[in-house]
Structure 1
């Protein structure tokens, strides 16, 4: 009886193998007969095998931390969760009493909190991320100096904040937090000390409830050389990780066009650069607690001449304005205009100039692409940093090369 049963099982297995082979033969024949490349028609590619579906997810070698702004939720379809460890939703805005802003000045709903509460696509992404082992964080934002000052001066408001932020985190069954306090003006050391104390308080309270939440604090690149609210010497001790916003060394209102995140060039065309910044940071805190934030965007300036680091001219309605542009928008421009791509060897940044088809003005674009980001990723490994962060996922649209670069340096 056992022999007959074993024989029957073997026959069934052989039949299944035959049927699978027949299906794949027919499928491949249909693809071949269309006249289109198989890579375009099949998301599985040429190396697809049924057994590969059973393999476990490759564990990233470092933190891969992507900000997701609420305005990029429509682009979540492009997110490759297997190349992320963390998604930080950006975000909800803080009131001075520790509550979160739910109305704008015109009495319409505040979009960040509204999306957190009601956006189905965001809910679906959070569910998929958790299933894939990707942490989801809520970003709490305070970009109003007066609000930040009043909040930091009110320790009763800190307790109120903990109650409210735990409620929001519990609504999505998450336990991780990102804090993004940015002052327009420089701050006093007393204010920075209060912020560090608040971060310590928050981290302790969340750990009490969740038993090990990840609290990441975003910091300006120049926090160690200018009076910012983010005092790295103390924050490096009380935060779980620091996300260095390693960009905006040039901005749309800069006198000249230049790299958004130059590797070198301090004293040449910028006050600071990424390499000097990293040297300053690792001198005062463990490299393993540092996430280097990189820009998935660039700046498009109206300039006098089509030369490197060209002088910006004021924009107007006739010639256009200098502005920020996402990686996807810049790549669309490159495909349309077909400019000559150039390389800033000092800043290790790509750039190009072109005549605007709409206004006829000369424009110059400095941006990050896979070539410039590769240099930064090499630095992350060289300095043995904790990871890489992106502002922002979704900014690359459907382009694949930046995801592939993350996999090359931090997963494969």
Structure 2
């Protein structure tokens, strides 16, 4: 773990001051922050503003409120001995109507924060639904140090169609579902068209949701008029009904799901990212060369080491590469990859003297989309093959103990 974001400075958009009911106070000396500092973890202050197009317009049209917020944040970070801020602004109009105004504010914040606190960082949380806005993403990326893709809430609490909170790949929606549901891999791929991977982190959920369902355990489910409830990872593992031990797996999203009757004998469908499905997201982080991962939120997994072990196995100096695995393109096992992709990743298990690659299926647009495979740790190594079309390539062997892949899809 390298960074801790303290939640949060709640913005009063009319003044720029804190709207916290309970004042932040001496947050830099809180037990959690002191423990982070003692272990060499950098600390930043999260700033939250869940707005509407009207309230965003009010704030971005008020130079005084913006100046007050920036001054306050520099003071808070300095006093706490922290290293920066994380901006979590969410709501309608932010990535469209107010994109340029938001980027202008972020540029001012970053410039002043860097000037007052050398080595400080400013990061911004990005909703998946905003990744397709070229204007928004490019402007925000140019204004800050890091972008954090919030890879969750694809199925959310105010709609009655059950589904995974964070599908790694596409989950087929129910017939009649009027809501737009994306998925992590597509949104990540879209963002990476506009931003260098080393500037992007993928945030993952330490929670899931359950819905009362009217069609049994059939997927996709149909919910009934009762609000779904969020479940932390700890609650999921603690549950005594036994559904943790009866995990089913949705094939394309990789998400764990469970079907059961609750204490009132209502039938439920629950979706939760467990260690298996989380690993698929870490695979995306490593394959696409991201700056790292993030989680909402620490403590939701209290009492269980599973998710910490994933951090250790994937993002630390103790990270390991499995000796056997199944690889997919960004469309997953049952979906299609998107256009406009160009990325490279390497597989190099520690101590491996040789590797082999066997293709189970292959289908690329002939002459336009291609896969290149190299015997070594970079694209300067010996080329084992370049493939396009639908002919399944032969089994490949890497004498170096490492394989590097370059995948390209045209626009």
- Structure number with the bigger relative contact order (C-alpha 8 A, sep ≥ 6) is 1
Q: Tell me whether 1:296 sits opposite 2:206 in the alignment.
A: yes
Equivalent in the alignment of 1:48: none
Mean alpha-carbon deviation: is it higher for 187-196 or for 285-294?
Answer: 187-196
1:170 matched to 2:111: no
Task: Give the 3 Å change call, closer, same or farther, for CA 307–266 of structure 1 in structure 2.
Answer: closer
Structure 1 residues without counterparts, runs of 5 or longer: 1-83, 103-109, 316-320
* TM superposition shift of 1:224: 2.7
CA contact (8 A) 2:171 2:253 kept: no
| Alpha-carbon distance between aligned partners in 2 of 1:263 and 1:143, rounded to the nearest angstrom | 26
Task: Report deviation, 1:410.
Answer: 0.8
Distance 1:285 1:226, change over 3 A: closer
Q: Which of 246, 254, 260 is equivalent to 1:354?
A: 260
Residue range with higher mean Cα deviation, 250-259 or 198-207: 250-259
Please provide the CA RMSD for this pair.
2.1
* Residue 248, structure 1, aligned to residue 159, structure 2: no
Q: Which of 99, 103, 121 is matched with 2:17 structurally? A: 99
Matched residues in 2 for 1:157 and 1:288: separation? Answer: 32
Query: What are the Cα deviations for residues 99-134 of structure 1, in whole angstroms up to 9, with x where unaligned?
Result: 1114xxxxxxx13xx3x31579x6122122112110
394-403 or 163-172: bigger deviation = 163-172
Please state whether the residue corresponding to 1:389 is helix, strand or coil.
Answer: strand
Q: How far off its partner does 1:404 sit? A: 0.7
Residues 1:167 and 1:338: Cα distance change in structure 2 (over 3 Å): closer
Instruction: Report if the CA contact (8 A) 2:243-2:258 is conserved.
Output: no
C-alpha distance in structure 1 between counterparts of 2:168 and 2:264, whole Å: 33
* Cα distance in 1, alignment partners of residues 137 and 19 from structure 2: 28
Q: What is the rounded CA distance, in whole Å, between the counterparts of 1:361 and 1:267 in structure 2?
A: 24
Pair 1:118–1:210, CA change in 2 (3 A): closer
Shift of 1:226: 6.2
CA distance in 1, matches of 2:240, 2:277: 16
Stretch deviating more after TM superposition (257-266 or 401-410): 257-266
Map residues 227-266 of structure 1 onto 2, 5 A cutoff. Answer: 231-265=136-170
Tell me how far apart the structure 1 counterparts of residues 286 and 95 of structure 2 sit (CA, whole Å).
34
Which structure: greater strand fraction?
2
Q: CA separation in 2, counterparts of 1:334 and 1:241?
A: 41
Q: Does the CA contact (< 8 Å) of 1:252 and 1:300 recur in 2?
A: no
Q: Which residue of 2 aligns with 1:42?
A: none
Query: Quick one: distance in 1 between partners of 2:126 and 2:246?
Result: 35
Structure 2 residue runs of 5 or longer lacking an equivalent are: 175-179, 319-411
Give yes or no for contact 1:206–1:212 (8 Å, CA) kept in 2: no
**TM-score (norm. length: structure 1):** 0.71
Match of 1:367 among 248, 261, 272: 272
Q: Distance in 2 between matches of 1:119 and 1:130?
A: 13
Tell whether the 8 Å contact from 2:172 to 2:220 is kept in structure 1 after alignment. no
For these two proteins, the number of residue pairs brought into alignment is 309
CA shift for structure 1 position 334: 5.7
For residues 307 and 346 of structure 1, do their structure 2 counterparts lie closer, same or farther at Cα, with a shift above 3 Å needed? same
1:221 aligns with 2:123: no
Deviations 1:89-108 (A, max 9, x none): 11011112211114xxxxxx
- C-alpha distance after superposition, 1:374-403 (max 9, x if no partner): 000011000001110100011111111100
* 3-state SS, counterpart of residue 390 of structure 1: strand
Cα separation, partners in 2 of 1:371 and 1:338, compared to 1, 3 Å: closer
Q: How do residues 6-405 of structure 1 correspond to structure 2 at under 5 angstroms? A: 84-95=1-12, 96-102=14-20, 110-111=21-22, 114=23, 116-117=24-25, 123-145=30-52, 146-183=54-91, 185-187=92-94, 189-225=96-132, 231-265=136-170, 271-304=181-214, 305-315=216-226, 321-333=227-239, 336=242, 340-356=246-262, 358-405=263-310
